[in-house]
Each structure stands twice: as structure tokens, then as C-alpha cells.
Structure 1
Amino acid sequence: MVQSITIEEFLKLSDKLPVLDARAPKEYAVGRIPVAQSFPIFSDEERATVGTAYKQQGHDPAVLIGLDLFGPKMSEFVKQANKLAPEKEVLVHCWRGGMRSGAMAWLLDFSGFKVYLLQGGYKAYRQYIHQQFERPYKLLILSGFTGSGKTDLLPYLPEQHQQVIDLEGLASHKGSAFGSIGMAAQPSTEHFENLLGTELLKLDSTKPIWLEDESISIGRAQMPKPLFDQMQQSPVIVLQVPQKLRVQKLAEEYCRTDKAILTTAILKIKKRLGGLATKEALEAIETGDMEKMVEIALSYYDKAYTFELAKKQHVLQLELQSINPEENAAKVLAFAKQHQLI
């Protein structure tokens, strides 16, 4: 039996049932429902062939070409579905809930599966995700100069029953020229939005949600503007950590990084550093003087941070004398309670 369901129903069932994405691999790679498994009815090349036929010859000839491509693969699709869904109950979607997911749903239904088909397809999911960014949230922004340990203390907040979203973790980037070091490949902006929207759906929007202060771009991933605008208007707790500690922390981290990667990162900000500072930073990398390299880089990043902080509306400064993340998380929460933010 094939049952057509809404995106809300679809996502609720996705907690316990396999989700099969019938779109082409390229579409899946750009962005997907995070729990979905790629189950393409056509390869990228086959999709292009059917699409060209539709444009040049019309609907009916394109359908016949699609059936010629689909037919020989039907038994393999059923075998794969049996492995993925031994209970013979699945969720299926394509781009708009049209022919591709319809054909796959028919085949699996014919083969004894109970199939739930997403109304409006992935397009409906994307609209639903964008709606999450328009909702009002009680955001608390954790800020501070580069090296203040903001990211390090985030994991300790949920231990104290706080809601947290790690934007840099979702974007797989730390938000600077050095931000890709030690991180996995970044998702597209589309998929970053999907991951972020999924996290928001898990949380209670009436209770505080902690986010790290970010630019609208985190590497190549772009923040959704409605949510970014809310962040700009939300209370900001600025971690004031002595520069010496920040330099030591960053230098220790970069000691384990390949010199060529650090050189590339410095060259990305060459225009902002200026010729002499760039030359000195490159020499410091070559000689292994990571503290000097960090000090030079921070001369740029601290100025940029100060400029961006001036745009915030509600800023609270918290003086810290260590970079111990567990201790600092406790101090941040005490500070937030003191100022009636939580």
C-alpha cells in the first residue's frame, strides 16, 4: 500500500523507518534529508537523457525512455530495499513527489512493501527547513577573540541541561583562513541548512539555545539570513581571555599542523596582513615559531572581531583567566544566570 503523507508526518516516521531518496546521485550529493539513503531510480547520465528528451520531444517520449531505463533495474531495486528495510516498510521521496518516487513507490508496493510517499518531495522538505529559520528563538551567543576556547566549552553546556547547536561542527569549518585545518570536507550551503534545520527541530524554541558567534559565512557555507539576523539582535557573552593564553593555545594546536597548510592559510590573508607581516609569519612557520606566527595572525583577526562586535546590540563581557573548557562553561552559565539570561 502506498500512502501519501505530509513533511511533518514523514519526518516523524523517519526516526524509525528507512528513507529512500530516489533522486540522482548529484542531487543527493548537493543536499538531502540527513537520514536519507541514496536510492536513485536513474544515474546522473540517465537523468540527463530523460530530461533532454522531455525538453526536446515532450512528456510521453520521455516517459517511455524512462521506463526503458527503469525496467531492467527493478528486481535489483527490490533486492536492495529488502536489505535496507527487512520489515518491508519504507519512506520514499524524489524532488517534487512526481514520477521518480511514484515509480519507485509503485514497484515496492507491488513487491509487498508498505510505502509512505512524501507529498511535494524534497522541495517540500526544503520549504519546511526554511520555515524553521523564520521562527523566533531565544538565542544566547557565545563570543570572544580567536583562541578564547568558545568551541571547546560548548560540549559542557548540555551536561548542565542547556540547548546547544555547534554551527562550526555542522559547517565542518572554524570560520577563518585556518578554519578548514583538521576538519572534514564542508557540506554545501544547502546541506548545511538541512543539518541546521534538523538541529533546530530537535530543540524547544521557548527555551534558550546557545550558539557560537559567527560571520554569515562559515567557510563556504552560508548562514540562513533570518537566523543570522536573530543572532545579531540576541544577547552576546564575550569571553575575555588574556592574549598570552590564546596565543599559547593556538600555537599548541598548530604545532601539529603541516607547514604547507599553515603557509596557505597565511597567504589567504596576505592583503590584510600586509607584505612585511606576511613575510614574518611565513618565516615563523618555517622556523617552527608558532607563537610568533599566531601573534601576527591575531593582529588581523582581533581587529576584524572588534569591528564585528561593535555591530552587536546587547554585549556582556566575561573576564576569564584560564582556557579550561569545563571551568569556563560553569562560569558562563553562572554569568548568564546572574544576568537573567537563563
Structure 2
Amino acid sequence: MPVLDVRSPSEYASGHVPGAHSLPIFNDDERAQVGICYKQKGQAKAIRLGLSLVGPKMAELVAQADVLSAGEPLEVYCWRGGMRSQSMTWLLETAGHQVTRWEGGYKSYRHRVLDTWFQPRPWVVLSALTGSGKTEILRAMDMMGAPIFDLEGLAHHKGSAFGHIGESLQPSNEQFENDGAQQLTQLPTNTALWLEDESRSIGQIWLQNAFFDLKKAAPLVVLQRSRENRLDHLVDLYGQASPEALGEVFPKIAKRLGHQNTQWALDALKSGDLRSAADLALHYYDRTYTESLEKRKEQILTTVDVTDLSFEDAAAHILEQTQPMIRTWLTHHV
């Protein structure tokens, strides 16, 4: 059933129901005009201004809805299920459409989104040093039927300071949560759910405290890979990136990497030696990860060595090695 978001374009851009079509009853300027009129002259004057703005485009709104509906019933929402969605519902029903209006609107939907994220689930966190291929292994596990929650895929970011390189524009935090909630509702609740070990921020995306606390409390499966394997992966992952794009990032981690190491890394990039630059970056990332893991060592369920294994073989090995202990863990936690 097609869903129509009748809020303004900027509201839609900030976050919307996944798959919803934007059919704004007011554009951003018109919405501002009506809001100012309401504050200065009251509801009656604001309603009349709104009618004067919508009246000339009623036929066009119906024509767009005709195309979007493709003969199916429609669902309509605005911010709170108020006058915008009520007016659009009236217009479309008058034009012969079958319409369901969302009570409580997008605001109520957002409450449901956050409730979905904050629901306790049988999370198992896949953890490893940078360059171990956690994301690729996680996705291989998905192809083998293991339920996963791909935070980096949702965020369009690989998690590190370099994570934006080669990725599309990140969604808004609100849209990230909306898209994630849709995926969460499709996951089972009676088996282990795998997700990657992430910091609180994934690029410009910020994980809500309540969800991050759930992740912090989950058991860890720690992967081990040789440094050479990790460097191979990083060179493959960022080999097509421009030296300029990579060079812009190193100064941002210079405080922890060290200014001398940062300069050596930049020099390596200029000479085309990405492997040496990546090796220097690992000094920073390995130390940061080790410090974080030390604080969570009591949560380590097991450690699995995947050195020299492909992502697919590593995924199969992890699932085989962890199945008995995860089954035991589930009996006590689900």
C-alpha cells in the first residue's frame, strides 16, 4: 500500500518512513507562512491562508496521488496526524481514493522506531582489530542464513576516520534509525543476532545511548587475523581511493598517531606506498581497540583465528566454532 508523506520537503529530507513518497501539501516557504500567521493572527486566519495556498494546486496533488497509488489504497501521514493529513485525506477521498490516515502521524511513528531499537535482543558482537574484514565476514554470515544487523551498511560508512571514502552520502541520523527499525522488525527474536563492534559514532551517525548500552552488554566473539592479512585487506579496500582523500584524514588522527608517524604516513601516500601508510594507521587503531577490549574482557565468549581464510570461509568457521557456546548462552539469556 503506497504511503504518502504530506509534510514539507525539508521535514521529509530530515527523516521519513522508509518507502514513503513525498507529496507535500505545503512547501517549506508556505509552511513557514502558515506558522507565522498562526502565531500572529490565530488559527482561523492561518486556516484561511492555508486554503488559499493549497487551493490552486489541488488538482495537481490529486494527479500525483493518482500516479503514486497505481490503483491501490493509500496511507497518509503528517507530523502529528493533524490538519495537513486530514486535509489531504479529505481531498483524495473526494477524488475517489481509499485513504487511511495515520493517527498520531510521524511523531507516533518515531516513538515506535525508538522502542524497536531499544528492545533487548540476543545480540552477539563480532569484534576484531581494524582491517580484519568484520563487515565482509558479517555479510558472508548473512548469506549463510545467520541473522545480522549491518550498522555500517545502514550508515553508509565503514566506521573509522577513513570510513566515508568510497561510500555514498550518509543518511540523517533520523533516517538511519527509521531504516534500521524496519530491518530490526524483520529479525528473529529467539536466536543469536550478529552485529559488528562499533563505537558510539559511525561517521556522522550517533547511536542512541539505550541501544549502545545494549551492545556494550552483549557477548563478544573476537576474531584474530595476522597483521599481513589486515594490511592486504586495507590496501584492497582503499586501493582505488585518491592519495589526496586519504591524506586529508591522517592529520585528524595525528594526536593519537603521533605527528612524526602522521608525516611518515603522508610521505608514504605521496610515494604511492599505501601499505606503509596503512601500517602506520594501525598503530593508532590497534592501540585504541586494545584499550576498549580490555574494558570488556569479561564479555568475551570466545576467540576465533581466521588468519589466511577468505571472508566466506571465515564466516563458516566462526558459525561452526561458536554454535555450541552460543546455544548455551541463549538458554540462559532468551
After TM superposition, is the score higher than 0.5?
A: yes
For 1:64-213, list aligned pairs within 5 A.
Answer: 64-213=48-197
RMSD: 1.2
| Corresponding pairs, count | 326
TM-score, length-scaled by structure 2? 0.95
Residue 299 of structure 2 corresponds to 314
- Matched letter for residue 281 of structure 1: A
- Spell out structure 1 runs of 4+ moving beyond 4 A: none
- Matched letter for residue 204 of structure 1: P
* Aligned-partner SS, 1:87: coil
CA distance in structure 2 between the aligned counterparts of 1:55 and 1:178, rounded to whole angstroms? 46
- Matched letter for residue 56 of structure 1: Q
C-alpha displacement at 1:242, in angstroms? 0.4
C-alpha displacement at 1:311, in angstroms? 2.5
For 1:201-240, list aligned pairs within 5 A.
Answer: 201-240=185-224
CA distance in structure 2 between the aligned counterparts of 1:47 and 1:252, rounded to whole angstroms? 49
Structure 1 unaligned regions, length at least 5: 1-16
- Matched letter for residue 339 of structure 1: M
Structure 1 residues 218, 323: closer, same or farther in 2, change over 3 A? farther
- Matched letter for residue 335 of structure 1: Q
C-alpha displacement at 1:253, in angstroms? 2.4
CA distance in structure 1 between the aligned counterparts of 2:240 and 2:57, rounded to whole angstroms? 49
The correspondence for 1:43, drawn from 16, 19, 27, is 27
For 1:326-341, list aligned pairs within 5 A.
Answer: 326-341=312-327
* Aligned-partner SS, 2:295: coil
Structure 2 unaligned regions, length at least 5: none
* Aligned-partner SS, 1:145: coil
| Percentage of identical aligned residues | 42
C-alpha displacement at 1:310, in angstroms? 1.9
TM-score, length-scaled by structure 1? 0.93
- Matched letter for residue 314 of structure 1: Q
Q: Retained in 2: the 8 A contact 1:164–1:211? A: yes
Residue 5 of structure 2 corresponds to 21
Residue 239 of structure 2 corresponds to 255
CA distance in structure 1 between the aligned counterparts of 2:39 and 2:303, rounded to whole angstroms? 60
* Aligned-partner SS, 1:42: coil
- Matched letter for residue 63 of structure 1: I
Q: Retained in 2: the 8 A contact 1:153–1:329? A: yes
C-alpha displacement at 1:180, in angstroms? 0.2
- Matched letter for residue 51 of structure 2: L
Residue 62 of structure 1 corresponds to 46
- Matched letter for residue 338 of structure 1: P
Q: Retained in 2: the 8 A contact 1:138–1:208? A: yes
Q: Retained in 1: the 8 A contact 2:192–2:326? A: no
**1:140-168 CA deviation, whole Å, 9 max, x = no partner?**
11110111011111222233321111100
